[in-house]
Amino acid sequence: MEQTTGVDGLCVPVQIYAARWNGEPDAVALNEGVMLRWFEPEMLHRLLLRPSTIELVHRHAVQHTASRRAPKARPGSQAVPNVIGVHLYLEDGDGRVMLGLRHPDSAYAGNTWHFLAGHCEQESAVECLIREAMEEAGLVIDPADVEFAHAVHLVDAPGAQPRLGLVFRVRFWKGTPELREPGKCTAWQWWHPDALPEQIVPYTRAAIDGIRAGRPYTEMGW
């Protein structure tokens, strides 16, 4: 039970419930509101929320850290959903790969270089790639020019939810990379595969190495 103060100064009790759910927000039929999304507690300061709500969520997140992690599957246990992410592999005429520098406040890999990437919603992986390329960098991609290049199946930490990263190579596109979502990415830059930045997401480096070696698959963290 929590106490909160409304805009009129009235203090009222609020009952808080903690639960675990690994579903997809887009699959929920809403009777109230217009949209559901997952947010890391560290990102709440960027949303339009009352300070008291943010403080409450942070406090309960500390108490229920374990509930934010998916259990590692064991033989005979319930299947654990895997997060599907798409990643864009672009090379310029000099063989350099395009990477983005993630915002320092990013919930994942802040101030680190990474592919242009995103999570699949109610869409195919190629549709997701095309959407993210336009939303994040203003690049126009034809589905016919998208080809699968590599897959990375990883766990970031013991007990964390597994992730499958699909990397797609695109040889032809329209537009010049621009910063359309500066809250996510602060720079686009071309890097030679032999001179990648030191601060790079580990599985990004592994995927680039795998593509250069002709390997279609990498596992990390298992």
pLDDT tens-digit map of 76-101: 556 888 999 999 999 999 999 999 99
Domain positions in the chain are 2-68, 83-220
Percentages helix, strand, coil for the chain, rounded to the nearest 5? 25, 25, 50
75 pLDDT band, cuts 50/70/90, is low
Contact 203, 137 (CB under 8 A): no
* Residue 176 or residue 37, greater confidence: 176
pLDDT value of position 180? 95
Contact 113, 185 (CB under 8 A): no
140 pLDDT band, cuts 50/70/90, is very high
> Of 32-41, 57-66, 103-112, 208-217, where does mean pLDDT reach its minimum?
57-66
Rounded CA gap, 72 and 154, in Å?
12
Summarised one tens digit per residue, pLDDT across range 155-170 is 988 888 899 999 999 9
pLDDT at 8 over 70: no
pLDDT value of position 67? 47
pLDDT at 190 over 80: yes
Contact 136, 97 (CB under 8 A): no
> Of 29-43, 126-140, 156-170, 181-195, where does mean pLDDT reach its minimum?
29-43
> Of 26-30, 128-132, 194-198, 214-218, where does mean pLDDT reach its minimum?
26-30
Contact 166, 87 (CB under 8 A): yes
Rounded CA gap, 170 and 88, in Å?
7
pLDDT value of position 185? 95
pLDDT value of position 64? 64
pLDDT value of position 5? 65
Edge to edge, the sheet with strand 185-191 lists 113-114, 97-102, 185-191
pLDDT at 68 over 70: no
CA-CA distances (angstroms) from residue 24 to 27, 83, 84?
6, 10, 12
Summarised one tens digit per residue, pLDDT across range 29-62 is 777 776 787 777 777 777 777 777 777 777 777 7
Rounded CA gap, 85 and 164, in Å?
6
pLDDT value of position 55? 78
CATH of 83-220, one of 3.40.190.170, 3.40.120.10, 3.90.79.10, 3.40.605.10: 3.90.79.10
